[in-house]
Structure 1
Amino acid sequence: MQVVVLDGSAAEDEVGQQIRQTLLDRCAVQGYTVQTFTLRSCKIGNCAGDFFCWVRSPGQCMVADDNRTIAAAIVAADVMVYLTPITFGGYSSLLKQAVDHQIQNIAPFFTTLNGETHHKRRYERYPSFLAIGWQATPNPHTEAIFRHLVWRNSLNFYAPTTYCAIVTGMPPESELAVQMDAALTAITRGTTMMVPPLPTLPAGVIQHSPPRNALLLVGSPRMRKSTSYSLGEYLMQHLAARGIATETVLLYPTLNNPLKLQALLAQLDATDLIVLVFPLYIDTLPAPVIRWLELLAAHRRNHQVASNRLVAIGNCGFPEAHHLDNALAICAEFAHTAGFTWQGGLALGGGEMVHGEPLATMDGRVMAIRLALTMAAEALAQGQPIPLLAQRRMRQRAIPVWLYRLMGSIGWRTQARRWGMQRQLYRRPYRTK
């Protein structure tokens, strides 16, 4: 059996090193062939969100770095293994950077899976999926989020078998070996993973005084041309109309600029209300946004900071908004971990309908979106959390699912035609058999 391991741990993570070594030892005992990618040593750029791996170079990322080697190894493998510290209930940013590039291994067109919209297969077969996460102490809430994310990924990856193992603390080597054996046995025997429930998001019920200022953080690589920016700016306009000082920061350019990053962290310390907007990438937040959350949490551990407030707004390309539930749960867990007051989140399905256009100039299709953001702004301006009615309004579908899928298919073919690729949209560059 061919096993490919994606190690998303940091160099100083002793628990991660122990888990990895034990897993490799148990694979050797079983006679499995293992290919390991230590992601902190790999050269992988952030996913650009341009979908060129679907329409310009179908099945292959345009960036020729280690992401292509990993994608090819996954297609050839029998089992794909994720190793990661549990980060606010999700994956580490190191692992997620590699995961984001796995969209090249599926096709752009839509299908129905588990009663909801997903992308079609690109390859005839996909590997089984084993995820191993670890955390220092027991935390049922983060464990539930992690298991739910693994299950969501298994649907999009068409994994024939999925298993999730969670290691707590630093167990003895013998105990760890038993856990790894159980995980490998479950994968090889085709054990079906039970659908894990996602924990209920904690309600932001604390009443605050009205915020003096608000900062919009745009977590999209498309920056000011993104749907994330359109949603966030509309909310900011309505907060400003209620007397709140607003400002917008694009997150991606700050991550590789230490001076900008430190300035942003200091600015956040003095901000009453922080609004994070982002697109959904492979069932959760994009890797750079997770990296930013990691840095912000570390900063707040080392500084005495008042409990300011956090709101998150996510959008996805699927018509069903519930695809964003896991990402918002991670945002809420981050808020709890980093000492923010969580004031709720908004989830928008069918985000491509907005496609970066200013909401104020669009037609009636975005009426529910505008209403939801206006309601959210009114509550937030009074120091209250986002109302449930606003959350429900945002989740309303502007057009039927069948029509959204049809328009999506036409859109992908139109984009591919620009590059002469309309007949190669199902190309399989990594097929070996």
Structure 2
Amino acid sequence: MKENRLLIHDLQPGFAQNGNFDEIVEDIGTIKNCIGCFTCWIKTPMECVLKDSYEHMAEKLAACDELTIVSKCTYGGPSAYVKNVLDRSIPYMHPDFVIKNGEMHHKQRFPQHIAMKVIFYGDGLSETEKETAEEWSEAMAVNFDAAAVETTFCRDVVEVCQMLSEQGIPQDTICDEEQKKACLPLNRQEEGTMALISGSPKKKYSTSAKMLEELKSFLSKDQAVTELRFSDNGLAENHLQALAKAETFVISFPLYVDSIPSHLLRCLTEIDTYFAEQSCTKSVYAIINCGFYEGEQAKAAMKMVENWCVRCGFTFRGGLGVGAGGMWHSIKDVPPGHGPKKDYGKHLSELAEKMEQQEDYGCVFTTVNFPRFAYKMAGESGWKQAAKKNGITL
């Protein structure tokens, strides 16, 4: 039986039309960002609620035997466009949980195990970026229950074509998904100002925003704070000017497909461009919340933030990876340091102290003081109840 081959890429549209692929997903300028609503699990299974020609990504994955991903390597992960496609592909997985290799992951809907190939391109990639990219590919393959994953690196599109046995595709077909902005003049940095950045797409019930709120409770009252929310593609000029003034960045975001959410990735690349060729001293910390139980599953995303700092010329000071982020709405009134937030509160207090001193914190990973089996049962019960209200049986 002929195998079905699916290609997801961020090169110029039409790049691989003559290739040996049955389905090609490419940037036609219509994709919307995943908004974390989970409607694709509890109301319209296998179909995203956002209608833009990418709502059937789960069906495309279900139909393929081999998945090939071609992407610009961006801080040790995929480009914003490819990441966006993968973020929109979560209905391919079932919301229920299973334990794989000692970690929590989503249950698979389908019996097949896709063979996965990831081809990254980019000139001047550091060894750290390559290592992070390989780590991300392996983690994603586990989540997608792939049979195997093969990760390779190319300098440019010509090598990509050779890898795919394509011919005659000029190098200028690389599609840079980020429009370069003119570098605006930098305002004077205000000593001690801390920018608290929520990178969640959610405007309500955001765990990332809640964790920043909890962090503030550990900061001294005279700490100057600027609060920003990056929930859309691209940044407003006032966002960039606020960042120019700040001395410290604290970026809080949810883990999406083992990485940075696509909209936030676009914002980070814009910041990279904005501060290009500038000599700016910035200390950066990250708080990453993971819906799975183990905070350690945020390791690759934490490394991507560090790689971004290197590219920007900032100083990465470390961060906190927190598991069981799905609990935060139900325990929102529990203060850090108590009950299921006991260990989390201890780490958050230590992190706040390091931030105010602009000292290295390192990368710390934690979870709730709550049994994993109970978190799994509660999560699955919640999915089933929500689906039942919509007449859906999981």
Could you tell me the TM-score, scaled by structure 2's length? 0.87
Aligned residue number for residue 133 of structure 2: 146
**Are 1:418 and 2:389 an aligned pair?**
yes
Specify the alignment match of 1:327 in structure 2: 301
Q: Distance in 1 between matches of 2:227 and 2:209?
A: 9
Equivalent residue, structure 2, for 1:100: 87
1:62 aligns with 2:49: yes
Residue 243 (structure 2) pairs with residue 268 (structure 1) = yes
Corresponding residue of 1:365 = 340
Following superposition, the deviation at residue 94 of structure 1 comes to 0.8
Q: Which moved more, 1:326-335 or 1:77-86?
A: 77-86
Distance of 2:4 and 2:294 partners within structure 1: 35
1:122 aligns with 2:109: yes
Q: What code does the residue aligned with 2:380 have?
A: S
Indicate the percent of aligned positions where both proteins have the same amino acid. Answer: 24
Q: 1:61 and 1:333, CA in 2 relative to 1: closer, same or farther beyond 3 A?
A: same
Matched ranges for 1:26-105 at <5 A: 27=19, 32-39=20-27, 41-105=28-92
**How far apart, CA to CA, are the structure 1 residues paired with 2:334 and 2:244?**
30
Distance change in 2, residues 1:10/1:139 (3 Å): farther
Q: Could you tell me how far apart the structure 1 residues matched to 2:263 and 2:24 are?
A: 23
CA distance in 2, matches of 1:211, 1:387: 23
8 Å CA contact 2:119, 2:160 repeated in 1:
no
Cα shift at 1:74: 2.1
| TM-aligned CA distance change 1:236 to 1:37, over 3 Å | same
Q: Distance in 2 between matches of 1:383 and 1:292?
A: 23
Summarize the alignment of residues 160-175 of structure 1 with structure 2, pairs less than 5 Å apart.
Answer: 160-169=147-156
- 2:253 maps to what in 1? 278
- Residues of 2 paired with 1:317 and 1:138: CA distance? 30
CA 245–397 in structure 1, closer or farther in 2 if over 3 Å, else same: same
Q: 406-415 or 120-129, which moves further after superposition?
A: 120-129
Aligned partners of 2:196, 2:125: CA distance in 1, in Å?
33
Aligned 8 A contact 2:33 2:262 in 1:
yes
**Is the counterpart of residue 212 in structure 1 residue 214 in structure 2?**
no
| 2:226 pairs with 1:247 | yes
- Which 5+ residue runs of structure 1 have no aligned equivalent? 12-16, 182-209, 426-433
* Secondary structure at the counterpart of residue 225 of structure 2: strand
Report the CA distance shift for 1:344/1:44 in structure 2 as closer, same or farther (over 3 A).
same
Cα distance per residue 1:61-87 (max 9 Å; x no partner)? 112222124332222122111111000
- Counterpart of 1:227? 207
Residue 275 of structure 1, CA deviation: 0.5
CA–CA separation in structure 2 for the residues paired with 1:56 and 1:215: 37
Correspondence for 1:292:
267
Residue type of the alignment partner of 1:38: E
Residue matched to 1:337: 311
Question: AA paired with 2:11?
Answer: S
* 1:7 counterpart (6, 9, 22): 9
Higher relative CO (CA 8 A, sep ≥ 6), structure 1 or 2?
1
Determine if contact 1:324/1:347 at 8 Å carries over to the other structure.
Answer: yes
Partner of residue 185, structure 1: none
Distance 2:242 2:7 in 1: 39
The CA RMSD measured in Å over matched residues stands at 2.4
Contact 1:75–1:126 (CA under 8 A) maintained in structure 2: no
Q: Does 1:131 pair with 2:118? A: yes
Aligned-partner residue type, residue 7 of structure 2: V
Q: CA deviation at 1:176?
A: 5.7
Offset at residue 380 of structure 1 (A): 1.5
2:335 counterpart of 1:347: no
Offset at residue 124 of structure 1 (A): 2.2
Q: Alpha-carbon deviation of 1:316?
A: 0.7
The verdict on how the C-alpha distance between 1:76 and 1:233 changes in structure 2, with shifts beyond 3 A counting, is same
Q: 1:220 to 1:177 in 2, by over 3 A?
A: closer
Matched AA of 2:263: P
Amino acid across the alignment from 1:81: T
Contact 1:212 1:272 (8 Å CA) reproduced:
yes
Contact kept, 8 Å, 1:137 with 1:169, in 2: the verdict is no
TM-score between the two structures when normalised by the length of structure 1: 0.79
Amino acid at match of 2:9: D
Aligned to 2:284: 310
Equivalent residues of 1:129, 1:162 under 8 A apart:
yes
Q: Tell me the SS of whatever aligns to 2:49.
A: coil
Q: Give the drift of 1:52.
A: 1.0
Give the SS at the match of 2:215: helix
Post-superposition offset of 1:249: 1.1
Query: Is there any run of 5+ residues in structure 2 with no aligned partner, and where?
Result: 166-189
